[in-house]
Amino acid sequence: MIDLGVALPLEILEKLRTGIYVYQEGRFIFVNKEIERISGYSREELLKIDPFDLLAEVVDRKNMKAFTDMAESGEFNVLPEKYVAKIRRKDGSSAWVELKAFPAVFNGKGAIVCNVVDITELVMEERRRKTIEKYVDLVGKIIRHDLANKISAAMNLLELSIERREVKLVEKAYDVLKDSVKSLKRLKNLEMLMKTGGELRAVSVREVFEETGKNYSIDVAIIGDASVMADDGLYSIADNLLNNAVKHGMCKSVRVVIESEEDKVIVRVEDDGAGIPDEIKGKIFNEGFHSGVGQGLGLFIVASLMDRYKGSVEVKDNEPSGTVFVLNFPLSV
């Protein structure tokens, strides 16, 4: 047990570059400059507030209270090797810290000396890494899913061309395969973008649906226009929604309505097809979900990309028949 009056004068603790605080009887009795920097509070403020109010999570407050009570009472010589906690700074932002605490004696009473290391950048970097991995994996799924759909469509056209001996069907199959190559290049670029952090850019919703709609034989009417913060994944959203309407909804036409509001852009993709049963509406965006109407990975891709864009997607019934997919984009991300 450290005797702060003998072994480690407070003047030395003040000069350390790592954060150091001394806790006794429910309050800070010493904090060094690094603790001020990490928390955003001045020393005078820290000495007056409840230390546990700095902890952002309830579980951290409970655990740290138990640890400090045991250490002060002398029940344990050393607290757990390390403890990672999320704290709330004075400005309302969050920081992650790694704490190493030791029982001590100060003015003849039990106390705790705690070494605090700011690991916010490490935590954020790990989160960025996991996010990149998540979306790189998603791009791989998009490539496999979207290209499989296009190749399947081309094969069907070629089989029909052989059966009917129609050259126009061969030309259509060629157009589908040519579009597949374009999509593959776009998705490979998206994959590279994801690997480097994947920044979003302004993309015209109308242009994306106009280009994607050319690949379908149904009438695609587009009303309005707006730019949203997205990337080439928006083409996959458009393709999967149109494909879902044609292949699974068996619709004859699709209407895309693009509207801007104060804080968001709303895109409604409306079809006149068979619709989606109420009992599966809550499941169609789940990865791997399959049903009699055949939604699978495509709608999961739509939901995942909307999550990347900090937006959302929901499904509703169209009147008198069909389905409406509503995409909500924030004006800025």
User: What is the CB neighbour count within 10 angstroms for residue 280?
Assistant: 16
Least confident of 152-161, 232-241, 301-310: 152-161
- pLDDT at position 180: 75
Check whether 294 has a pLDDT greater than 50. no
104 and 16 share one domain:
yes
Model confidence band, residue 224 (pLDDT cutoffs 50, 70, 90): very high
Q: Is the pLDDT of residue 239 over 80?
A: yes
At residue 229, the pLDDT reads: 94
> Where among 58, 88, 118 does a domain terminate?
118
Q: Among residues 171, 198, 225, which one ends one of the domains?
A: 198
* 204 shares its domain with 333: yes
**What string of DSSP letters covers 223-270?**
E---EEEE-THHHHHHHHHHHIIIIIT--SEEEEEEEE-SSEEEEEEE
pLDDT at 71: 60
Cβ contacts of 7 within 8 Å, gap of 6 or more: none
- pLDDT of 46 reads 95
pLDDT at 82 over 80: no
Mean pLDDT across 14-22? 83
State how far the Cα of 102 lies from the Cα of 77, in Å rounded to an integer: 7
**Three-class SS state of 106:** strand
112 and 129 in a single domain? The answer is: no
Stronger pLDDT, 224 or 169, i.e. the higher one: 224
Structural domains counted in the chain: 3
Picking from 51-65, 244-258, 264-278, which range would have the lowest pLDDT averaged per residue? 51-65
Q: How many CB atoms lie within 10 A of CB 67?
A: 18
6 pLDDT tier (thresholds 50, 70, 90): very low
CATH code at position 247 = 3.30.565.10
The pLDDT value recorded for residue 295 is 43
Last residue of a domain, one of 143, 170, 198: 198
Residues 142, 54 share a domain: no
Neighbours of 322 (CB within 10 A): 22
Which ranges of the chain would DSSP assign to H, the alpha helix?
A: 10-15, 33-39, 43-46, 58-73, 120-164, 167-195, 205-213, 233-243, 297-308
Are 174 and 256 in the same domain? no
Sign of CA dihedral 124, 130, 133, 139: negative
| Statement to judge: residues 209 and 244 lie in one domain | yes
**Same domain, yes or no: 23 and 106:** yes
> Are residues 248 and 184 part of one domain?
no
Give the model's pLDDT for residue 137: 79
Residue 154 belongs to what domain range? 124-198
Cα separation values, 42 from 11, 39, 159, 307, Å: 18, 8, 76, 38
- pLDDT value, residue 37: 94
Residue 20: strand pairing partners: 115
Indicate if 266 and 333 belong to the same structural domain: yes
The pLDDT mean for the chain works out to 82
pLDDT at 31: 92
Q: Token pair for residue 73?
A: 């009472």
State residue 9's pLDDT score. 60
pLDDT tens sequence across 48-80 = 998 888 988 766 677 777 766 666 665 555 455
Which CATH number belongs to the domain containing residue 55 in this structure?
A: 3.30.450.20
Do 27 and 97 belong to one domain?
A: yes
| 222 DSSP β-pair partners | 256
Looking at mean pLDDT, say which of 2-16, 17-31, 170-184 comes out highest.
17-31
pLDDT in tens, 98-154: 988 877 777 778 788 889 999 999 998 888 778 777 777 777 777 777 777 777 777
pLDDT in the model for residue 98: 92
- Cα(327)–Cα(139) distance, integer angstroms: 20
Do residues 210 and 266 both lie within one domain? yes
pLDDT of residue 116: 93
d(CA 56, CA 240): 40
Amino acid 293: pLDDT:
44
Side-chain half-sphere of 77: how many Cα atoms within 13 Å? 1
In the predicted structure, residue 1 carries a pLDDT above the cut 70: no
- 186-199 pLDDT per residue, tens: 777 667 666 656 68
The CB density around residue 300, as the number of other CB atoms within 10 Å, is 20
Written as one string, the DSSP assignment of 74-94 is TS-SS--S-EEEEEE-TTS-E
Confirm if 26 and 50 have CB atoms less than 8 A apart.
yes
Judged by DSSP in three states, 199 sits in: coil
Percent of the chain with pLDDT over 90: 31
User: Do 15 and 78 belong together in one domain?
Assistant: yes
Q: From residue 103, give the alpha-carbon distance in Å to each of 159, 173, 229, 317.
A: 79, 75, 52, 64
Task: For the chain, give the longest Cα–Cα distance.
Answer: 99
Rounded-to-integer distance, Cα 36 and Cα 44, Å: 10
